[in-house]
Amino acid sequence: MNITINGTGYVGLVTGVCLADLGNHVFCLDLDPVKIQTLNSGGIPIYEPGLADLVHSNVAAKRLIFSTDVDAAVAHGDVQFIAVGTPPDEDGSADLKYVLAAARSIGRSMNGFKVIVDKSTVPVGTAEKVSAVIRDELTRRGLGDQRFAVVSNPEFLKEGAAVEDFMRPDRIVLGVDDNDDGREALAVMRKLYAPFNRNHERTRVMNVKSAEFTKYAANAMLATRISFMNELANLADKVGADIEMVRQGIGSDPRIGYSFLYAGTGYGGSCFPKDVQALVRSAGEHGQRLQVLESVEAVNKAQKNVIVRKIFERFGNDLRGKTFAVWGLAFKPNTDDMREAPSRVLLGALARAGARIVAHDPVAVHETKRVLPLDFADAPACIEQIGFATDPVAALEGADALVIMTEWKAYRSPNLERLKAVMKAPVIFDGRNLYEPETMRAAGVSYFGVGRNSH
C-alpha cells in the first residue's frame, strides 16, 4: 500500500518504518527541514533501540522516503496518518493546531478517496474536527462531494521499546464511522494491519469517540497506578514499611498484577503528564470533574521533588560546596526523551541551591544540554554548575552523594568498593529503588530509597 505519515517524530517515524518493513511504500513527511535532512543523510533524530537498522534497510529497499514536500506527501498515500504532536495548551488541554494544520494540508490537495488516520493522541471529538477541516478545504476547491474517511487509531507504543511494541501490539484500536466511507476505511485498515493479526485477532473495532477515549483512559489508568504507589511510598517511609515488599505482596493478586506499581520520582515523558491534564480539562469542558485524576496529577507534581526533599533533609537547603553525581537523565531507560523528565526538577533544585552536579546518561546528555537553557531561563549562570561524565564511575569522583534518576540497566550492579573509594562519602539517593537497602547497609552505604524505610 502507499502510506503517508504526517509528522516524523517518535510515533510517526516508528509507524512509518515498521509499515515500510511490512512491504508498504511509505512517505514520511515532516515540516522540520533539519529532521528530514538528518534522516536523508542516514542519521536518526531520536534514540530508539532497533530503529536505525530498520530505517537504513527500508530506505535501501526504496520503501521509505523522507521529505518536507507537503503536496507530494498528500499525493502519495491512500492512507494518510496524522502523527504530529498534541502538546498541552496553556490551560492543559490538548493543542490541536498541528493536527488541524495537517488535516488542512491534506484537504488542500487531495484527489480521490483517502483514509485519514488520527494516530496522534487527541481528545474525543477531534476526528469530527479533522473531517470538518478537510471538508471545508474540499468545498473551497469545488470538490465538496469528494469521499474520504477519518479513522481513529491511537498508538500505544512505549518509547524505549517502540519498534517491538509496534511490531507486536497488544491491541490495535480502530475507531470508524458506521457508514459507507467508514466501512471502506475499515477494510483498508484491516488489510494494512493484517500481518499483525495472523496468529490471533488483535483489532478492536469501535466507534470513533470510544477509540479516542480509549487512549486517554489507558494512560490515565497507568498514571493512576504510579501516583497511587508513590503516595503510599511516602507513607511507608513514615510508618517504617518497605514499599517494595508491599508491591510484591499486592502484585501477586491477579486482580492487581505487578505492572506499573513501582514507586519512584514520579512519571514524566511526553504522554502521561499531558494526557492526564488533557482528560481533566476535557471533562471540565463537559461540566464534570475527574477528581481521581486531579489528584493523580497533583501527587505526581509533588513526587518529582521527593529526592530533592530527602537531599535537603540530609544536607540542608544550602548546597554550596557540595557535589552530586547523577545517574540517569532521560525520563525512562532506553530513550533520550527529556520531556517532563523528573531529572529536570532535580537539576533545577540542586543547581539553584548552589550544588555542583556531574551527570551521566548513556544517551540523553545531548538532549539534556538542549533543554537546560529552557529550564534555567531565569538563572542561566546555574548551567555552569552542571557537568557531564562519559561513564558512570567518572561521575562519582569526589561526590558527596549519588542520585539515581533513571533505571538504566548499566546502573543496576554498581561496584560498591570502587564507589566508596572514589566518592567523598558513600551516600546514595535512589529515585528508582534499584538496590536493596539491606545490601547497601551491609556495604556501609547511607542509602535513601523511595518508600523503603531505608534511612
Q: CB under 8 Å to 160, separation ≥6 — which residues?
A: 48, 49, 332, 333, 334, 335
- Tell which one of 24, 58, 86, 131 touches ligand NAD (CB under 6 A): 86
Q: What are phi and psi of 89, to 5 degrees?
A: -75, 180
155 binds ligand NAD (CB under 6 A): yes
450 binds ligand NAD (CB under 6 A): no
- Tell which one of 36, 157, 163, 423 touches ligand NAD (CB under 6 A): 157
- State CA 272 to chain mean position distance: 7
- Tell which one of 4, 9, 47, 133 touches ligand NAD (CB under 6 A): 9
C-alpha cell at 310: 530527602
Q: How many residues at the interface with ligand NAD, by CB under 6 A?
A: 26
- Tell which one of 7, 16, 266, 426 touches ligand NAD (CB under 6 A): 7
Report the C-alpha gap between 242 and 252 in whole angstroms. 16
Instruction: Spot the catalytic one: 18, 28, 271, 382.
Output: 271
Stretch that binds ligand NAD, among 8-16, 128-136, 140-148, 430-438 (CB under 6 A): 8-16
Residue 228 CB coordination number (10 Å): 17
270 binds ligand NAD (CB under 6 A): yes
Site string for ligand NAD, 12-51 (x = CB under 6 A): x----------------xxxx--x----------------
280 binds ligand NAD (CB under 6 A): no
- The smaller minimum CB distance to ligand NAD, of residues 137 and 159, is found at 159
218 binds ligand NAD (CB under 6 A): no
- Tell which one of 52, 75, 101, 241 touches ligand NAD (CB under 6 A): 101
Stretch that binds ligand NAD, among 58-66, 151-159, 172-180, 435-443 (CB under 6 A): 151-159
Interface residues for ligand NAD in 328-387 (CB under 6 A)?
none
C-alpha cell at 93: 488541554
Interface residues for ligand NAD in 385-444 (CB under 6 A)?
none
- The smaller minimum CB distance to ligand NAD, of residues 149 and 271, is found at 271
277 binds ligand NAD (CB under 6 A): no
Give me the least distance between CB of 270 and ligand NAD, in Å please: 5
Give me the least distance between CB of 321 and ligand NAD, in Å please: 40
- Tell which one of 4, 10, 338, 341 touches ligand NAD (CB under 6 A): 10
102 binds ligand NAD (CB under 6 A): yes
Q: Which residue is nearest to ligand NAD (CB)?
A: 9
79 binds ligand NAD (CB under 6 A): no
Give me the least distance between CB of 7 and ligand NAD, in Å please: 3
| Nearest one of 212, 208, 206 to 279, comparing CA atoms | 212
Give me the least distance between CB of 48 and ligand NAD, in Å please: 10
Q: What 3 state SS string does the chain have?
A: CEEEEECCCHHHHHHHHHHHHCCCEEEEECCCHHHHHHHHCCCCCCCCCCHHHHHHHHHHCCCEEEECCHHHHHHHCCEEEECCCCCECCCCCECCHHHHHHHHHHHHHCCCCEEEEECCCCCCCHHHHHHHHHHHHHHHCCCCCCCEEEEECCCCCCCCCHHHHHHCCCCEEEECCCCHHHHHHHHHHHHHHHHHHCCCCCEEEECHHHHHHHHHHHHHHHHHHHHHHHHHHHHHHHHCCCHHHHHHHHHCCCCCCCCCCCCCCCCCCCCHHHHHHHHHHHHHHCCCCCHHHHHHHHHHHHHCCHHHHHHHHHHCCCCCCCEEEEECCCCCCCCCCCCCCHHHHHHHHHHHCCCEEEEECCCCHHHHHHHHHHHCCCCHHHHHHEEECCCHHHHHCCCCEEEECCCCHHHCCCCHHHHHHHCCCCEEEECCCCCCHHHHHHCCCEEECCCCCCC
- Tell which one of 24, 58, 121, 234 touches ligand NAD (CB under 6 A): 121
Task: Assess whether 271 carries a catalytic annotation.
Answer: yes
120 binds ligand NAD (CB under 6 A): yes
Interface residues for ligand NAD in 196-215 (CB under 6 A)?
none
Contact 454, 435 (CB under 8 A): no
- Tell which one of 3, 4, 6, 150 touches ligand NAD (CB under 6 A): 6
Point out which residues bind ligand NAD (CB under 6 A): 6-12, 29-32, 35, 83-86, 98, 101-102, 120-121, 155, 157, 159, 270-271
**Active-site residue set:** 271
